[in-house]
Amino acid sequence: MSFATSNLTVGDVGLEGATILDLQQAFTTGALTSETLTRFYLQRIERLNPDLNAVLFVNPSALLDARHSDERRRSGRRLSPLDGIPVLLKDNIATAGMPTTVGSYALLHADPADDAEVVIRLRNAGAVILGKANLDEWAGYRSVDVVSGWSAVGGQIRNPYVLDRDPWGSSGGAAVAVSAHLTTVAIGAKTDGSLMNPAGANGVVAIQPTVGLVSRRGIVPVCPAQDTAGPIARTVTDAAIVLSVIQSGRGAPVDASMVSHPRGLVSGPGSLHAKRIGVWLPRGGGGSLPEAMVAARDQLLEEAVATLEANGATIIRGIDLNVDAAVELSRAVGLVELKAAINRYLGSRTGPCPADLEALIAFNDEHAEREMPLFGQDVFHAAQDMQGDPTDAAWRDQRRAVTDMARMVVDEALRRHHLDAIVAPTNTPSLPPLDRAGIQSARPSAIAGYPAISVPAGLAFGVLPVGLTFFGGPSTEQELLMMARAFEQVTAARRAPTFRPQLQSPAQ
């Protein structure tokens, strides 16, 4: 059985280069139906997921929902550009009638009664909920020694470019599924780098919205000041379309037509003309990277910056974004917030599941062979030992100070250099998951609650994806989308996964 993705077709539509707009055109002409597309993905999941572990559950109603979309289209009642489009959801997003486990067996038999707000918006738009994606268990917040892409329910997610490499987390399953054509688009979620990192490592696009633009209701919380859902797609156009559907909160709404049009692009290379773009090269990130990996990442960044400059952008190098003080200040308040968030969430779940964090810790201890074969729950223990209420004035002030410190760092860089955006490499080329070495270029915008977009920038060693992240001030999604789409258009850097079992060179 071939894993090849570069020449995939369904209903005479080439999927690798097709956007949601192309699929809708095929639906309209009758060249394709939502049912045919949905069936194709379900069959592909059945064949490939045993090797990728990207999908935890499929929706038993997916084909029926697709048929309903086809019926609406035949009667001229298309609901939105997402009508009939298959969407996979990270498994920390509540979905009625399906498990929402966060990768933990503790929640396997406690299905949520209601949809998350994001899911309601997708259903109202006619999207076909395809299923739930694997993730870092508890979004990677159970232990400092978390293995990226692993959950007790789903096992180890595998990077589709090189199967023994890190898929990054915690939205790794969603990013792998999009990249490997197990779905058209997906919804991931982040607290820190959980949207940007897996997008970069798996050769796809992700948008981290301004916190508050997308509702968090029904999404398993970690840190309310930083949590948000966001779209993962193969193109900026598709990511923008999804964001335009799921947005609901404060902030400037995204107009997807600015980066997409049935007859071509409204945006183009000219979207970079006269833009002032700063370049930030973060260092470190936990672990020791081989020099060849660092050199490959830096070379791809240089090529990306040269492309921006060649298309009219003014480049300002040497941007300094040090949020170490904010990270350090957030440690204690983050544990208090985590404990309160998990207690509140578990207390709202119905069915058989732990009542609070203390009971969850006990469950994991009791089922240690299944839940903790690779790493423990030291972060859970540290959070449980914390005393305090994050709604108290002192804790609120501390969280506000953390957010303000990160915002000050980003805002000052933008102001001082009169920047329209800052770019940074999204990720370093992936190592095996246990190595956990890399950079955290998403951290300043994530802590500040600011938007960011990761776009494929190229392949290190010709096989491992590296992304380029664009980020800026609050509610600048529209401007960032225009620049990211222009970069995508002139580089066409995404390449389909190759599903290699491993790389041979130890330097890689």
Tokens 């030992």 -> residue: 385
Strand partners, 314: 276
Strands 452-460 and 464-471: antiparallel
Strand partners, 206: 232, 454
* Prior bond of 170 cis (ω within 30°): yes
Q: Are 380 and 262 in contact (CB under 8 A)?
A: no
Which tokens is 326 given?
Answer: 């904010």
Q: Which of 183, 241, 141 is nearest to 44 (CA)?
A: 183
User: Side chain identity at 269, as an amino acid letter?
Assistant: P
Phi-psi region of 462 (alpha: psi -120 to 50; beta: other; left: phi over 0): left
Give exposure, 108-118, as e/b (b: 16+ Cβ within 10 Å).
Answer: bebbbeebbbb
Q: Is 90 part of the annotated catalytic residue set?
A: yes
User: Residue 457's Cα: distance from chain center in Å?
Assistant: 16
User: Residue 232's Cα: distance from chain center in Å?
Assistant: 6
- Catalytic, out of 194, 271, 330, 445: 194
- Catalytic, out of 90, 132, 275, 339: 90
User: Side chain identity at 114, as an amino acid letter?
Assistant: D
Q: Are 229 and 214 in contact (CB under 8 A)?
A: yes
Non-local CB neighbours of 405 within 8 Å, separated by 6+ positions: 323, 325, 326, 329
What's 203-222 look like in SS3? CCEEEECCCCCECCCCECCC
The total of other beta-carbon atoms located within 10 Å of residue 302's CB is 12
Q: Are 439 and 427 in contact (CB under 8 A)?
A: yes
Q: Is 267 part of the annotated catalytic residue set?
A: no
The total of other beta-carbon atoms located within 10 Å of residue 370's CB is 11
- Catalytic, out of 104, 170, 271, 330: 170
Q: How far is CA 253 from CA 40, 248, 250, 258, 478, in A?
A: 33, 8, 8, 12, 8
Cα pseudo-dihedral 183, 193, 446, 338, rounded to 10: 100
Non-local CB neighbours of 328 within 8 Å, separated by 6+ positions: none
State phi, psi for 453 to the nearest 5 degrees.
-135, 130
Helix, strand or coil, per DSSP, at residue 101 = coil
Kindly list the catalytic residues: 90, 170, 194
